[in-house]
Structure 1
Amino acid sequence: MIESNVYIDPKIAALQPGEATTDSIAWIKLSYTVLPLGAPISDAKVLTGRQKPLTEIAFIFAEIRTREGHEGIGFGYSKRAGGPGMYAHAQEIAPTLLGEDPNDIAKLYNKLLWAGASMGRSGLTTQAIAPFDIALWDLKAKRASLPLAKLLGAHRDSVQCYNTSGGYLSTPLEKVLENVQTSRGNGIGGIKIKVGQPDTSIDFKRVQAVREQLGEGFPLMVDANQQWDRVTAQRFCRKLEQFDLTWIEEPLDSADVEGHAALAASLDTAIATGEMLTSFNEHAQLITANACDFIQPDAPRVGGITPFLQIMNLASFKGLKLAPHFAMEIHLHLAAAYPEEPWLEHFEWLEPMFNERLELREGRMWVPNRPGLGFSLSEQALAWTQHSVEFGKRP
């Protein structure tokens, strides 16, 4: 059931844009939508009691329309907790965009950031900004009649793509091996499985079995989800080096920059991390400390595309590889615009939310030729929407 209400700022008509302004934001709609997962998902954090199994994902969608009729859509998300808080904060800051020129995305990002600065400039504050920022970039690319990747300046028309969802710790090994075969048959270019069992010998056997099934040379990654302490990570990562892994992901707590740097310096296998960080500044600390080989920013988590592009520029300057976390519908465009060959994470979870599908073939995901991000909300997404609110007046 959708609960909807409309807020109209009485000052909107009085706003006077500058001489260079060609358009202004007239209407914003926020929606709170909950995506149920087909089965509970468990990783190392669940086995150790840190978190409960993942059963649903909360989304905040922002739809923006301008006086001239241009529109864009963006989203943020939260797993397990925090969705209602993000939605509440997004409602607080949304009216500050009314009457503003949608072209001035960096300015508007800063305006939204300072609107909630007393709550900090990372975490929930930045994640609540992401739907607006992403919608503005979508709008800008649509107005130019270009896919976002082309607006940014693409280095490639497709991105090598790996799959995670078939290798969770809650999945028996026999099923993991079956999923590996299915993924390869569907055109996936790399396989990632979860590790982080309390008994590392179980992890070792699972990685060994998957490597044997894939054969030599096929890209294989593992993800520990911040499970290990420094000593365990050092010892076990050395044992894993024999499997020629593309990377070892989040071996330590995401905030342990020093530990990740020491690990990255001591291993031949690449270290990947960054998905849990929620601002450019946090990523900058990780990058400048040489604490990883693959940086894994998440645009909805860091506040949108604007800070993501800052992270990309710094990572490229430092010679890092890029492997964005989750939300392939957004990250495909951003990864296509990265100078070095990146990886894209494939998650089919979000497909029911959108009318369009992305093309996967020959191990790569292909940038669609649709303007903007190239997606629109499905009827199913509307059915899963629990609350919505509008600001301004739709032209």
Structure 2
Amino acid sequence: MPTDTISAIKLSLAWVPLATPISDAKVFTGRQKPLTRVAMLFAEIETADGHTGLGFSYSKRAGGPGMYAHAREVADSLIGENPADIGRLWNKLVWAGASVGRSGLSTQAIAAIDIALWDLKAKRAGLPLGRLLGAWRDGVPSYNTSGGFLSSPLPEVLDNVEASIASGIGGIKIKVGHPDPKVDLTRLEAVANQIDGRVALMVDANQQWDRPTALRMCRAMEQYGLVWIEEPLDAYDIEGHAALAAAIDTPIASGEMLVSAAEHFAMIDARAVDFIQPDAARVGGITQFQRVTARAEQAGLMMAPHFAMEIHVHVSAAYPLGTWVEHFDWLDPLFNERQILEGGKMMLSTRPGLGVTLSDQARAWTEASCRIDAKGCTDHTHG
């Protein structure tokens, strides 16, 4: 039987504007400016037999153009390759750009291509990606984050809580880490009262506490029965996370800012978290995400992937232990399809692959694109 081969790869850089600038603790502590848009890197793969795959990666601040440029440089190494050989192709891509490292921006760039290969593989099998990966469940408990940013006044946050619960969400996460701890505790008390046990509750400090503050704040929050306290410390303070996890009853979650499987291994092996939070787009795609989840399962950890629900509902459905998926509607305009919430869960799509296709709006927001095939790379201009 003839082997199908990759005939072309289209890469696109698009920008998703946010309706309202948002701020978490990193803004209130002066480390970042409010977020106004998200950079998206799309990879669309075509094969000689007419199969296609779609993948994406992203950056919430600097880095989008760099990811696009790196992917553009290395993608030609896949032309003529068998798209089914995903592990080998990931290795080929990462070594094509290894002089700038095998983590961080370089692997976030190839994540879009890796995810497109998995989407293609699942489509060829006629299966949703979660089923291809070996789903354990039809739906994954889902929580909302986008309604609880520190930049939102408390009355607005409370309105968002009601809207999220009405939509079928299973949990609410609010941002904490404000320089004034009284602000955090006041907002948490109000949200907890508003929820009144109807759904789960989590908080996220976005790495803005030092060790003494984290211990003090986590202890003050124990009374609320939180599912987890997220990123109480710097993402790379593994020792601090481990000590904190051992000192309090509330589970600790972290991992979204780690940009390689190896960094996640270090956190897992140190028992630094109860919930590991990998992001497929940041660790290098689904190929590397599966390495993380294999280690996490072995350690008996729960999982709650970060952002990108269109990808993470599939990998979460295929994780054997307890897991949540984060609901963000920011990327909705990019796709023709929507994720479905029912009874507190995000349901696994019945459509093949990721189950999403790019919308006309995604094309309209595209700033740069190129098509790479056996003849070379053709750049396209966008007005």
TM-score, structure 1 as length reference: 0.94
- Of residues 13, 17, 27, the one that matches 1:32 is 13
Q: Which residue of 2 aligns with 1:319?
A: 300
Task: Tell me the amino acid that sits aligned with residue 23 of structure 2.
Answer: S
Matched, 1:224 2:212: no
Describe the SS at the equivalent of 2:331: helix
Describe the SS at the equivalent of 2:235: coil
Once residues 180 and 206 of structure 1 are traced to their aligned partners in structure 2, the CA distance between those partners, rounded to angstroms, is 12
Task: Tell me the amino acid that sits aligned with residue 318 of structure 1.
Answer: A
Q: Which residue of 1 aligns with 2:169?
A: 188
- Of residues 326, 339, 342, the one that matches 1:358 is 339
Once residues 159 and 350 of structure 2 are traced to their aligned partners in structure 1, the CA distance between those partners, rounded to angstroms, is 33
1:219 Cα deviation from its structure 2 partner: 0.8
Classify 1:21/1:230 alpha carbon distance in 2 versus 1 (closer, same or farther; 3 Å): farther
Once residues 360 and 235 of structure 2 are traced to their aligned partners in structure 1, the CA distance between those partners, rounded to angstroms, is 37
Once residues 37 and 315 of structure 1 are traced to their aligned partners in structure 2, the CA distance between those partners, rounded to angstroms, is 33
Equivalences for 1:243-254 in 2 at 5 Å? 243-254=224-235
Describe the SS at the equivalent of 2:172: strand
Once residues 300 and 2 of structure 2 are traced to their aligned partners in structure 1, the CA distance between those partners, rounded to angstroms, is 38
Q: Which residue of 2 aligns with 1:14?
A: none
For each residue in 1:182-229, what CA deviation from the matched residue of structure 2 results, as whole angstroms up to 9, or x when unmatched? 111111100000001111011011111111111136310000000000
For each residue in 1:119-177, what CA deviation from the matched residue of structure 2 results, as whole angstroms up to 9, or x when unmatched? 11111011011010000000000000000011111000100100001110001111111
Q: Which residue of 2 aligns with 1:138?
A: 119
Task: Tell me the amino acid that sits aligned with residue 385 of structure 1.
Answer: T
For each residue in 1:12-49, what CA deviation from the matched residue of structure 2 results, as whole angstroms up to 9, or x when unmatched? xxxxxxxx872111111001111111000100000111
Once residues 226 and 30 of structure 2 are traced to their aligned partners in structure 1, the CA distance between those partners, rounded to angstroms, is 28
Once residues 164 and 300 of structure 2 are traced to their aligned partners in structure 1, the CA distance between those partners, rounded to angstroms, is 30
**Contact (CA 8 Å) 1:275, 1:297: kept in 2 or not?**
yes
**Contact (CA 8 Å) 2:79, 2:374: kept in 1 or not?**
no
- Of residues 269, 285, 290, the one that matches 1:309 is 290
Q: Which residue of 1 aligns with 2:254?
A: 273
1:245 Cα deviation from its structure 2 partner: 0.4
1:393 Cα deviation from its structure 2 partner: 5.7
Task: Tell me the amino acid that sits aligned with residue 292 of structure 1.
Answer: V
Q: Which residue of 1 aligns with 2:110?
A: 129
- Of residues 203, 210, 222, the one that matches 1:241 is 222
Once residues 120 and 105 of structure 1 are traced to their aligned partners in structure 2, the CA distance between those partners, rounded to angstroms, is 20
Q: Which residue of 1 aligns with 2:266?
A: 285
Once residues 103 and 93 of structure 1 are traced to their aligned partners in structure 2, the CA distance between those partners, rounded to angstroms, is 18
For each residue in 1:102-133, what CA deviation from the matched residue of structure 2 results, as whole angstroms up to 9, or x when unmatched? 01000000111111111111110110110100
1:239 Cα deviation from its structure 2 partner: 0.6
Count of paired positions: 375
- Higher relative contact order (Cα pairs below 8 Å, separated by 6+ residues): 1
Instruction: Identify unmatched segments of 5+ residues in structure 2.
Output: 376-383
Classify 1:77/1:304 alpha carbon distance in 2 versus 1 (closer, same or farther; 3 Å): same
Task: Tell me the amino acid that sits aligned with residue 332 of structure 2.
Answer: E
- Of residues 194, 202, 219, the one that matches 1:213 is 194
Q: Which residue of 1 aligns with 2:77?
A: 96
Once residues 86 and 241 of structure 2 are traced to their aligned partners in structure 1, the CA distance between those partners, rounded to angstroms, is 33
**Contact (CA 8 Å) 2:165, 2:199: kept in 1 or not?**
no
Once residues 98 and 70 of structure 2 are traced to their aligned partners in structure 1, the CA distance between those partners, rounded to angstroms, is 11
Q: Which residue of 2 aligns with 1:42?
A: 23
For the aligned residues, what is the CA RMSD?
1.1
Once residues 42 and 77 of structure 2 are traced to their aligned partners in structure 1, the CA distance between those partners, rounded to angstroms, is 17
- Of residues 166, 191, 216, the one that matches 2:147 is 166
Task: Tell me the amino acid that sits aligned with residue 115 of structure 2.
Answer: I
1:96 Cα deviation from its structure 2 partner: 0.5
Task: Tell me the amino acid that sits aligned with residue 90 of structure 1.
Answer: A
Once residues 174 and 26 of structure 1 are traced to their aligned partners in structure 2, the CA distance between those partners, rounded to angstroms, is 53
Task: Tell me the amino acid that sits aligned with residue 65 of structure 1.
Answer: E
Task: Tell me the amino acid that sits aligned with residue 352 of structure 2.
Answer: P
Matched, 1:346 2:327: yes
Q: Which residue of 2 aligns with 1:386?
A: 367
Describe the SS at the equivalent of 1:113: helix
Percent sequence identity over aligned pairs = 63
Matched, 1:119 2:104: no
Once residues 313 and 305 of structure 2 are traced to their aligned partners in structure 1, the CA distance between those partners, rounded to angstroms, is 9
Once residues 347 and 328 of structure 1 are traced to their aligned partners in structure 2, the CA distance between those partners, rounded to angstroms, is 7
Matched, 1:81 2:62: yes
1:341 Cα deviation from its structure 2 partner: 2.5
- Of residues 62, 65, 82, the one that matches 2:43 is 62
Q: Which residue of 2 aligns with 1:3?
A: none
Q: Which residue of 1 aligns with 2:90?
A: 109
Describe the SS at the equivalent of 1:348: coil
Task: Tell me the amino acid that sits aligned with residue 153 of structure 1.
Answer: G
Matched, 1:51 2:32: yes
Once residues 185 and 145 of structure 1 are traced to their aligned partners in structure 2, the CA distance between those partners, rounded to angstroms, is 33
